[in-house]
Structure 1
Amino acid sequence: MKKSNFIYLIIGFSLALLVMSILSIISYKRLTSFILFSDQIEHTFKVLDVVERVGSSAREAESSLRGYVLTRDSTYLTPLFLAHTTLPPMLDSLAVLVREDKMQLMRLSLLRHNLNLRLKVLESTIPMVNDGTYDSVLVDKMASGRRLMEDFKGVLNQMTAAEKKLLASRFTQKEMYQQMTPYAFRQVFIVVGLVCLLLFILLLRELFERIKSQNALQQQVMALKQSYAELAQLAFAASHDLQEPVRKIRMFTDRVIIKQKNKLDNEGQMLLGRLDASASRLQGMLEDISDFMTLIDSSEEKELVSINKIIEEVIDLFDAELHSKLAKINISPLPVLEVYPSQVRALFRAMFDNSLKFAHPQRPPQIDVTSRYLEEKEVDAFLQPHLSKAYLAITISDNGIGFDNRFSEKIFQLFRRLHPNDTYTGKGIGLAICQRVMANHNGFIAAEGLPDQGASFTLFFPKG
Structure 2
Amino acid sequence: MHISVHKKIRVGFFIAFTIIVVASLVSYVIARNLMHNADRLSHAVEVSKRLDAITRYLKDAEAAIRGYSLTKEEAFLNPSMEERSIKIENEYRKLRRIIDDPAQQRNLDTLKRLLDVKYTQLTGQRKGSSSAAIQQAEVSMDRIDHKVEDMILIEQAQLNEKTRMFHFFSGLSIPVLFIISIAAILIGVYSYITLTREFRLQLHIEARMKNYQRELQENIALLNNTNKELEQFAYVASHDLQEPLRKISTFSDRLLSKHRHELPEEAGQLIDRMVAAVGRMRILINDLLSFSRAGRITPESLVPIDLNTILQDVIGDLEPALQEKKGSILFDQLPVIEGSDTGFHQLFQNLLSNSIKFAHPERPLEIRIRRELLTGKEAGFTSEKKWGETYCRISIQDNGIGFDQVYADRIFLIFQRLHGVSEYKGTGIGLAICKKIVDSHNGTITAVGAAGQGSTFVIVLPVKQIRED
Query: Structure 2 length as normaliser, TM-score?
Result: 0.77
- How has the CA–CA distance of structure 1 residues 456 and 143 changed in structure 2, closer, same or farther, with 3 Å as cutoff? same
* Residues 357-410 of structure 1: CA deviation (Å, up to 9, x unaligned): 22222222233344676997995xxxx975656986544332222233443222
Opposite residue 231 of structure 2, the aligned amino acid is A
**1:186 corresponds to:** 182
Deviation at 1:123, TM superposition (A): 4.2
1:171 lines up with 2:176 in the alignment = no
**1:9 corresponds to:** 3
1:92 lines up with 2:97 in the alignment = yes
**1:353 corresponds to:** 353
**2:106 corresponds to:** 110
Please tell me whether the aligned partners of residues 41 and 170 of structure 1 are also in contact (alpha carbons under 8 angstroms): yes
Please tell me whether the aligned partners of residues 403 and 449 of structure 2 are also in contact (alpha carbons under 8 angstroms): yes
Please tell me whether the aligned partners of residues 125 and 133 of structure 2 are also in contact (alpha carbons under 8 angstroms): no
SS across alignment from 1:368: strand
* Residues 216-238 of structure 1: CA deviation (Å, up to 9, x unaligned): 45324413422321321231243
User: What percent of counterpart residues are identical?
Assistant: 17
Matched length: 440
Give matches, 1:216-235, under 5 Å: 216=212, 218-235=214-231
Deviation at 1:308, TM superposition (A): 6.5
- How has the CA–CA distance of structure 1 residues 25 and 364 changed in structure 2, closer, same or farther, with 3 Å as cutoff? same
1:74 lines up with 2:86 in the alignment = no
**2:25 corresponds to:** 32
Opposite residue 63 of structure 1, the aligned amino acid is R
- How has the CA–CA distance of structure 1 residues 192 and 441 changed in structure 2, closer, same or farther, with 3 Å as cutoff? farther
1:434 lines up with 2:431 in the alignment = no
Opposite residue 72 of structure 1, the aligned amino acid is L
- How has the CA–CA distance of structure 1 residues 375 and 67 changed in structure 2, closer, same or farther, with 3 Å as cutoff? same
**CA–CA distance in structure 2, aligned partners of residues 311 and 340 of structure 1:** 14
**CA–CA distance in structure 2, aligned partners of residues 79 and 395 of structure 1:** 114
Deviation at 1:15, TM superposition (A): 5.9
**2:339 corresponds to:** 340
**2:276 corresponds to:** 274
- How has the CA–CA distance of structure 1 residues 414 and 299 changed in structure 2, closer, same or farther, with 3 Å as cutoff? farther
**CA–CA distance in structure 2, aligned partners of residues 42 and 108 of structure 1:** 22
Unaligned runs of 5+ in 2: 65-75, 261-267, 465-469
**CA–CA distance in structure 1, aligned partners of residues 29 and 194 of structure 2:** 37
RMSD between aligned residues: 4.0
SS across alignment from 1:280: helix
Please tell me whether the aligned partners of residues 81 and 123 of structure 2 are also in contact (alpha carbons under 8 angstroms): no
One of 250, 254, 263 as aligned partner of 2:258: 263
SS across alignment from 1:397: strand
Please tell me whether the aligned partners of residues 114 and 143 of structure 2 are also in contact (alpha carbons under 8 angstroms): no
Please tell me whether the aligned partners of residues 444 and 459 of structure 1 are also in contact (alpha carbons under 8 angstroms): yes
Please tell me whether the aligned partners of residues 417 and 428 of structure 1 are also in contact (alpha carbons under 8 angstroms): yes
- How has the CA–CA distance of structure 1 residues 175 and 389 changed in structure 2, closer, same or farther, with 3 Å as cutoff? farther
**1:141 corresponds to:** 137
Question: Which piece of structure 1 moves more, 447-456 or 38-47?
Answer: 447-456
**CA–CA distance in structure 1, aligned partners of residues 313 and 177 of structure 2:** 81
**2:447 corresponds to:** 447
Please tell me whether the aligned partners of residues 65 and 76 of structure 1 are also in contact (alpha carbons under 8 angstroms): no
**1:99 corresponds to:** none
- How has the CA–CA distance of structure 1 residues 61 and 155 changed in structure 2, closer, same or farther, with 3 Å as cutoff? closer
Please tell me whether the aligned partners of residues 393 and 460 of structure 2 are also in contact (alpha carbons under 8 angstroms): yes
* Residues 310-345 of structure 1: CA deviation (Å, up to 9, x unaligned): 6556545434433332223344677x5864253445
**CA–CA distance in structure 2, aligned partners of residues 63 and 256 of structure 1:** 151
- How has the CA–CA distance of structure 1 residues 301 and 162 changed in structure 2, closer, same or farther, with 3 Å as cutoff? same
SS across alignment from 1:459: strand
**1:98 corresponds to:** none
Unaligned runs of 5+ in 1: 96-104
**2:264 corresponds to:** none
- How has the CA–CA distance of structure 1 residues 165 and 312 changed in structure 2, closer, same or farther, with 3 Å as cutoff? farther
Question: Which piece of structure 1 moves more, 317-326 or 409-418?
Answer: 317-326
Please tell me whether the aligned partners of residues 438 and 445 of structure 1 are also in contact (alpha carbons under 8 angstroms): yes
- How has the CA–CA distance of structure 1 residues 274 and 45 changed in structure 2, closer, same or farther, with 3 Å as cutoff? same
**CA–CA distance in structure 1, aligned partners of residues 83 and 431 of structure 2:** 117
- How has the CA–CA distance of structure 1 residues 66 and 23 changed in structure 2, closer, same or farther, with 3 Å as cutoff? same
**CA–CA distance in structure 2, aligned partners of residues 137 and 253 of structure 1:** 162
Please tell me whether the aligned partners of residues 64 and 77 of structure 1 are also in contact (alpha carbons under 8 angstroms): no
One of 41, 45, 56 as aligned partner of 1:48: 41
**1:58 corresponds to:** 51
**CA–CA distance in structure 1, aligned partners of residues 378 and 189 of structure 2:** 41
Query: Structure 1 length as normaliser, TM-score?
Result: 0.78
**CA–CA distance in structure 2, aligned partners of residues 140 and 179 of structure 1:** 59
* Residues 277-319 of structure 1: CA deviation (Å, up to 9, x unaligned): 1453144124303432524x5654475x776676556545434
Instruction: Specify the structure having the higher radius of gyration (Cα).
Output: 2
SS across alignment from 2:431: helix
- How has the CA–CA distance of structure 1 residues 374 and 299 changed in structure 2, closer, same or farther, with 3 Å as cutoff? closer
* Residues 96-129 of structure 1: CA deviation (Å, up to 9, x unaligned): xxxxxxxxx2322223213423443454456446
